[in-house]
């Protein structure tokens, strides 16, 4: 049985919810799929880093450098515990986009003799529901290496069509890169089948966990994936920090993506060798305060409990989906039940352009996302230029769902399309 969190209490942790919005309305934030709001503990952790410990990590021999390094490495330990990883498998990046590019470029930099090298005729498999961040880096890698891109289509009800699983992930496949949860449809993909087929053909599985790690428990070892990427800012953490996780044995074999300071073992005028992972992948002074803030964010989520957050979001889905389906003139884009789906709802309203709908909802303090959601191929498949998307998180409640429904009906009246 799904149950709701005590949102009124929890919202007190998020200063932004005391902001008065247009028309003296309260903030009804339904855009967490794009970025989440931040609790005070995260803001304080960043501030505390700057006011008490600020120094470049891993460099100086002074007290501040020591404290900064401890805080930074402490954050790495928290991330590792949160996703069931080994500490040295966790790499800080500036976000999921960088993490996914890191994987693609690193693989592209492999020596021809490496088992990671991509050759002409090899295959990289994605899906039609990928965010551009988990599509374009693979297209680019394919173009640089002569590999081909293949993809799983999306069914009319917004699921991955796996009927051709064995021929799409074929013996030539080297990489399968799939989103855990679609940022447009809310669909949670059936990873077990995909991962077992990926490993059957000896390929590597990359999980875009941007929309899953913030919303439900994800354990990299349990899933038996090879690589994972997510962004801190969607998980109540700061902007400017993300995670690339890879299995230790793979990280040891991989080439760096960015080179420079802090990632070397030794350097001569002609050449350099690399430090072991994770430092091999962390060139330059990292986003230290942001990493520490991410540690605080994961502490915050853990204290509430990822299962409790998942249950809360499912309860909202159970409540909202039937109401969306019953609204005349509204088409829900994505699965029509809360089974294997998150609380992300894309929809089209007859006679109202998504941007116009977004602006009318904004008049009531309701923040939704409108447009293509960085998923053009999916928009083309769905035959729409864009959608309106309402994405819920731990600080949303049923009153927010009611406000959304009322807002849509008001917009329909305003545009005289009812």
Residues assigned a catalytic role: 374
Burial of 333-366, coded b for 16+ CB within 10 Å and e otherwise, reads bbbeebeebbbbbbbbbeebebebbbebbbebbb
Nearest alpha carbon to residue 29 among 417, 396, 295: 396
Burial class (CB in 10 A: 0-12, 13-18, 19+), 76: buried
Q: How far is the CB of 75 from ligand PLP (least distance, A)?
A: 18
How long, in residues, is the chain?
418
**Residue 231 contacts ligand PLP per CB under 6 A:** yes
Stretch that binds ligand PLP, among 5-13, 91-99, 150-158, 245-253 (CB under 6 A): 91-99
**Considering only residues 27, 75, 90, 96, which one is a binding residue for ligand PLP as defined by CB under 6 A?**
96
* 125, 177, 210, 218: residue in contact with ligand PLP (rule CB under 6 A): 210
Interface residue with ligand PLP among 80, 103, 133, 203 (CB under 6 A) is 133
Q: How far is the CB of 128 from ligand PLP (least distance, A)?
A: 13
Supply angle C-alpha 347, 349, 354, rounded to 5: 75
CB of 394: closest distance to ligand PLP in angstroms?
17
- Strands 148-152 and 123-127 come out as parallel
Question: Taking CB under 6 A as the rule, does residue 32 contact ligand PLP?
Answer: no
* CB within 8 Å of 338: residues ≥ 6 apart: 314, 317, 318, 321
Does 389 bind ligand PLP (CB under 6 A)? Our answer is no
Residues 304-363 that bind ligand PLP (CB under 6 A): none
Widest Cα–Cα separation across the chain: 72
**Should residue 364 be labelled a site residue for ligand PLP when binding is judged by CB under 6 A?**
no
CB of 133 to ligand PLP, least distance (A): 4
Residue 236: C-alpha distances to residues 9, 195, 245 (Å): 16, 29, 19
Selected range binding ligand PLP among 159-167, 206-214, 260-268, 410-418, rule: CB under 6 A: 206-214
Q: Which stretch binds ligand PLP (CB under 6 A): 38-46, 47-55, 205-213, 286-294?
A: 205-213
CB of 209 to ligand PLP, least distance (A): 8
Q: Interacting stretch for ligand PLP, rule CB under 6 A, among 56-64, 126-134, 266-274, 404-412?
A: 126-134
Instruction: Assess 131 for contact with ligand PLP (CB under 6 A).
Output: yes
Question: What pairs with residue 148 in β-bridges?
Answer: 123
Is the CB of 186 or the CB of 256 nearer to ligand PLP? 186
- Residue 208 lies near ligand PLP (rule: CB under 6 A): yes
- 362, two tokens: 């904004």
Q: Does 134 bind ligand PLP (CB under 6 A)?
A: yes
The reply on whether position 93 binds ligand PLP by CB under 6 A is: no
With binding defined as CB under 6 A, does residue 235 bind ligand PLP? no
User: Around Cβ 193, how many Cβ atoms within 10 Å?
Assistant: 13
CB of 182 to ligand PLP, least distance (A): 7
Question: 289-328 as b/e, with b when 16 or more CB fall inside 10 Å?
Answer: bbbbbbbbbbbbbeebebeebbbbbbbbbebbbeebeebe
Residue range at the interface with ligand PLP (CB under 6 A); choices 17-25, 162-170, 203-211, 339-347: 203-211
Contact 398, 4 (CB under 8 A): yes
Query: Is residue 183 a contact residue for ligand PLP (CB under 6 A)?
Result: yes
Q: Which stretch binds ligand PLP (CB under 6 A): 103-111, 130-138, 194-202, 344-352?
A: 130-138
Using the rule CB under 6 A, is 187 a contact of ligand PLP?
no
The smaller minimum CB distance to ligand PLP, of residues 131 and 279, is found at: 131
CB of 119 to ligand PLP, least distance (A): 27
Positions that interact with ligand PLP (CB under 6 A): 34, 95-97, 131, 133-134, 179, 183, 208, 210-211, 231
């Amino acid at each position: 049985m799904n149950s709701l969190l005590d949102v009124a209490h929890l919202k007190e942790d998020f200063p932004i919810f005391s902001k008065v919005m247009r028309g003296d309305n309260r903030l009804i934030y339904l855009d967490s799929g794009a970025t989440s709001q931040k609790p005070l503990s995260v803001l304080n952790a960043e501030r505390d880093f700057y006011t008490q410990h600020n120094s470049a990590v891993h460099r100086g021999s002074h007290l501040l450098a020591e404290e900064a390094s401890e805080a930074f490495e402490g954050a790495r330990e928290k991330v590792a515990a949160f996703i069931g990883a080994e500490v040295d498998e966790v790499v800080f990046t500036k976000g999921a986009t960088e993490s996914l590019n890191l994987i693609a470029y690193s693989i592209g930099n492999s020596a021809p003799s490496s088992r990671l090298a991509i050759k002409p005729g090899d295959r990289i498999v994605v899906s039609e529901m990928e965010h551009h961040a988990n599509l374009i880096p693979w297209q680019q890698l394919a173009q640089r290496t002569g590999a081909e891109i293949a993809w799983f289509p999306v069914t009319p009800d917004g699921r991955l069509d796996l009927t051709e699983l064995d021929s799409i992930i074929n013996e030539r496949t080297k990489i399968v890169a799939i989103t855990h949860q679609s940022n447009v449809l809310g669909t949670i993909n059936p990873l077990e089948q995909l991962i077992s087929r990926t490993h059957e053909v000896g390929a590597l599985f990359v999980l875009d966990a941007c929309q899953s790690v913030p919303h439900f428990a994800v354990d990299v070892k349990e899933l038996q994936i090879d690589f994972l990427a997510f962004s801190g800012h969607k998980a109540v953490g700061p902007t400017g920090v993300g995670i690339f996780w890879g299995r230790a044995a793979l990280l040891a074999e991989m080439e760096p993506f960015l080179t420079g300071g802090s990632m070397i073992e030794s350097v001569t005028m002609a050449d350099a060798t690399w430090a072991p992972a994770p430092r091999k992948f962390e060139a330059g002074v990292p986003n230290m305060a942001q990493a520490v803030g991410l540690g605080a964010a994961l502490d915050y989520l853990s204290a509430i409990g990822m299962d409790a957050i998942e249950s809360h979001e499912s309860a909202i889905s159970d409540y909202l989906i039937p109401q969306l389906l019953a609204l005349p003139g509204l088409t829900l884009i994505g699965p029509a039940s809360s089974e294997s789906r998150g609380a992300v709802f894309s929809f089209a309203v007859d006679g109202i352009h998504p941007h116009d709908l977004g602006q009318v909802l904004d008049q009531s303090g309701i923040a939704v996302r409108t447009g293509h959601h960085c998923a053009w191929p999916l928009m083309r498949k769905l035959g729409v230029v864009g959608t309106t998307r309402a994405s819920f998180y731990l600080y949303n409640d049923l009153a927010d769902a009611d406000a959304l429904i009322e807002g849509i009906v008001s917009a329909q009246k305003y545009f005289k399309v009812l």
